[in-house]
Structure 1
Amino acid sequence: MQTANRLNGIGEYYFSQKLREIGELNKAGKNIINLGIGSPDMPPHPDVIKTLQEESAKTNVHGYQSYTGSPVLRKAVSDWYKKWYNVDLNPDTEVLPLIGSKEGIMHICMTYLNDGDKVLVPNPGYPTYTSAAKLAGGSPLYYDLTEANNWFPDFEALEKVVKEQGNIKLMFVNYPHMPTGQLPTKKAFEAVVAFARKNNLLLVHDNPYSFILNEQPESLLSVEGAKDVVIELNSLSKSQNMAGWRVGVLVAAKERIDEVLRFKSNMDSGMFLPVQLAAATALNLGKDWYDSVNSVYRERRKKVFQLLDMLQCEYDTTQAGMFVWAKIPSTYTDGYALSDKVLYESNVFITPGGIFGSNGNGYIRVSLCAPVEKFEEAIKRIES
Structure 2
Amino acid sequence: MKPANRLAFIKEYYFSRKLQEIKEMQQNGIDVINLGIGSPDLPPPYDAVAQMQLAAKQENAHKYQSYRGADELREAFADFYQRKFQVEVNAATEILPLLGSKEGIMHISMAFLNEGDEVLIPNPGYPTYTSVTKLVGAKPVFYELKEENEWQPNFNELEKQDLSKVKIMWLNYPHMPTGVKASQHLFHDAIAFAKKHDILLINDNPYSFILNDNPESLLAYPGAKEVGLELNSVSKTFNMAGWRVGAVLGSQENLQHILKVKSNMDSGMFLPLQLGVAVALKENEDWFKNLDFLYKNRRTKIIELVEKLDCQLEDRDLVGMFVWAKIPEAYQTSEEFSEHILQTHHLFAAPGTVFGSGGEGYIRFSLCVDEATIEKAIKRVEA
- Provide the residue aligned with 2:219 in structure 1: 221
Cα deviation, 1:92-124, whole Å, max 9, x if unaligned, reads: 000000000000000000111111100000000
Distance in 1 (alpha carbons) for counterparts of 2:358 and 2:373 = 29
Task: Answer yes or no: is 1:263 the counterpart of 2:261.
Answer: yes
Deviation at 1:331, TM superposition (A): 1.2
Q: Which amino acid aligns with 2:342?
A: L
- Provide the residue aligned with 2:300 in structure 1: 302
- Provide the residue aligned with 2:143 in structure 1: 143
Task: Answer yes or no: is 1:380 the counterpart of 2:379.
Answer: yes
Distance in 1 (alpha carbons) for counterparts of 2:336 and 2:220 = 41
Distance in 2 (alpha carbons) for counterparts of 1:194 and 1:286 = 35
- Provide the residue aligned with 2:49 in structure 1: 49
Cα deviation, 1:154-204, whole Å, max 9, x if unaligned, reads: 11111112xx25210000000000000001133111111111111110011
- Provide the residue aligned with 1:31 in structure 2: 31
- Provide the residue aligned with 1:109 in structure 2: 109
State whether residues 169 and 199 of structure 2, in contact with CA within 8 Å, keep that contact through their aligned partners in structure 1. Answer: yes
For structure 2, list consecutive stretches of 5 or more residues without a partner in the other structure.
Answer: none
State whether residues 163 and 197 of structure 2, in contact with CA within 8 Å, keep that contact through their aligned partners in structure 1. Answer: no
Taking structure 1 as the reference length, the TM-score comes to 0.98
Cα deviation, 1:190-232, whole Å, max 9, x if unaligned, reads: 1111111111100111000000000111001111110001110
- Provide the residue aligned with 2:312 in structure 1: 314
Distance in 2 (alpha carbons) for counterparts of 1:329 and 1:159 = 35
Distance in 2 (alpha carbons) for counterparts of 1:207 and 1:358 = 22
Q: Is the deviation greater in 329-338 or in 340-349?
A: 329-338
Deviation at 1:32, TM superposition (A): 0.3
Task: Answer yes or no: is 1:2 the counterpart of 2:2.
Answer: yes
Say which SS state the counterpart of residue 340 (structure 1) adopts.
helix
Distance in 2 (alpha carbons) for counterparts of 1:226 and 1:56 = 38
Q: Which amino acid aligns with 2:234?
A: L
Cα deviation, 1:226-245, whole Å, max 9, x if unaligned, reads: 00011100000000100000
Cα deviation, 1:29-71, whole Å, max 9, x if unaligned, reads: 1110000000000110110110011111222211000000001
Q: Which amino acid aligns with 1:108?
A: I
Taking structure 2 as the reference length, the TM-score comes to 0.99
Task: Answer yes or no: is 1:371 the counterpart of 2:370.
Answer: yes
Distance in 2 (alpha carbons) for counterparts of 1:211 and 1:189 = 18
Task: Answer yes or no: is 1:121 the counterpart of 2:121.
Answer: yes
- Provide the residue aligned with 2:354 in structure 1: 355
Task: Answer yes or no: is 1:279 the counterpart of 2:274.
Answer: no
- Provide the residue aligned with 1:11 in structure 2: 11
Distance in 2 (alpha carbons) for counterparts of 1:278 and 1:219 = 24
- Tell me the percent identity: 52
Distance in 1 (alpha carbons) for counterparts of 2:75 and 2:381 = 48
Say which SS state the counterpart of residue 314 (structure 1) adopts.
coil
- Provide the residue aligned with 1:345 in structure 2: 344
Q: Which amino acid aligns with 1:298?
A: K
Say which SS state the counterpart of residue 204 (structure 1) adopts.
strand
Deviation at 1:137, TM superposition (A): 1.0
Task: Answer yes or no: is 1:212 the counterpart of 2:210.
Answer: yes
Say which SS state the counterpart of residue 201 (structure 2) adopts.
strand
- Provide the residue aligned with 1:93 in structure 2: 93
Distance in 2 (alpha carbons) for counterparts of 1:250 and 1:139 = 23
State whether residues 334 and 360 of structure 2, in contact with CA within 8 Å, keep that contact through their aligned partners in structure 1. Answer: yes
Say which SS state the counterpart of residue 160 (structure 2) adopts.
helix
Q: Which amino acid aligns with 1:367?
A: S
Distance in 1 (alpha carbons) for counterparts of 2:138 and 2:9 = 12
Cα root mean square deviation, aligned:
0.8
Distance in 1 (alpha carbons) for counterparts of 2:100 and 2:321 = 18
Task: Give the paired residue count.
Answer: 382
